[in-house]
Amino acid sequence: MLDKNNYLVMAYLSDNGAWGEQDIEPLKLTHINYAFGLVQNGKLGWKHFKKLDYLKKYKEINPKLKIILSIGGWGADGFSDAALTEKSRNLFVDSAMEFIRLNNFDGFDIDWEYPCNNQAGIKIREEDRENFTLFLKNFREKLDSQGQWDNKKYILSIALGAGQRYIDDIEMDKVHPCLDFINVMTYDMRGSYTNITGHHTNLFSQKEDQAGISGDKAVNLLLQTGVPNKKIILGSAFYSRCWEKVKNQGTGINIKAETTGCKTIDYSVLNLEYIIHF
């Protein structure tokens, strides 16, 4: 079980991942963000899930475990349309609330990547910034109303990109009061878009890293907006990103490669073939 410090330990768990019921240790987690629900025809799409029954068993093992539906993910479209009007917001949130009632989930994690930003190839509008706020307020109001009926506190969180531009595209002063947590995605900070090597989920920046991108910097940018530190969850990755044909120079960090860091290696392979065990 977790120690007396009572840290929150959250894990994103993909329904379509290559894992079985026995691979997850629920006593080591406080929260599971189950990924990903989608926006389909203006409503929550979740019928593609195949492993929902496993989650019930995890809660039996750890009754304190909170299981949250994460909606969206990289390249998931439909958010701008769903958040556009009061009618569209009600349609989507009401369908999501039906999922909560049917499946005994403990809340939602909204993973819109990203309002006002089409780098993932999704539809965007200038008014996404304000509509995102209204979207989250709708979720908060309906979760609280359901919670009064159930005598339960439901969770609402968002996933946030690591960097100033992602903060600027959100009305953070209006958004964070609606949220229980902000999951800062301090991973993929380097990777498929650059041929300069570097740690993609580093806590601090190394001296040779001129960009200075790190988990520490991302969290401090968020703190400067007035978000309470108790709401900030530092997201880190257990997979790697790889570059090929890197010049043999120094530590190999911040060195030009002939490929981008688009190749990934998952943790099971890293653990077996790359990590030194003492």
Cα(179)–Cα(172) distance, integer angstroms: 10
Cα(65)–Cα(60) distance, integer angstroms: 9
Measured between alpha carbons, how far apart are the two ends of the chain, in Å? 24
CA-nearest of 31, 169, 192 to 113 is 169
Please name the amino acid found at residue 73: G
Contact between 150 and 138 (Cβ < 8 Å): no
Strand (E) positions, 87-215? 107-111, 155-161, 181-185
- Show the tokens assigned to 24: 């997850």
Q: Can 113 be counted among the known catalytic residues? A: yes
**Choosing from 21, 86, 98, 113, which is the catalytic residue?**
113
Q: Cα dihedral angle (25, 27, 28, 29), rounded to 10 degrees?
A: 100
- Show the tokens assigned to 153: 């506190």
Check residue 277 and report its DSSP letter.
Answer: -
Would you please indicate which residues are annotated as catalytic (active-site) residues? 113
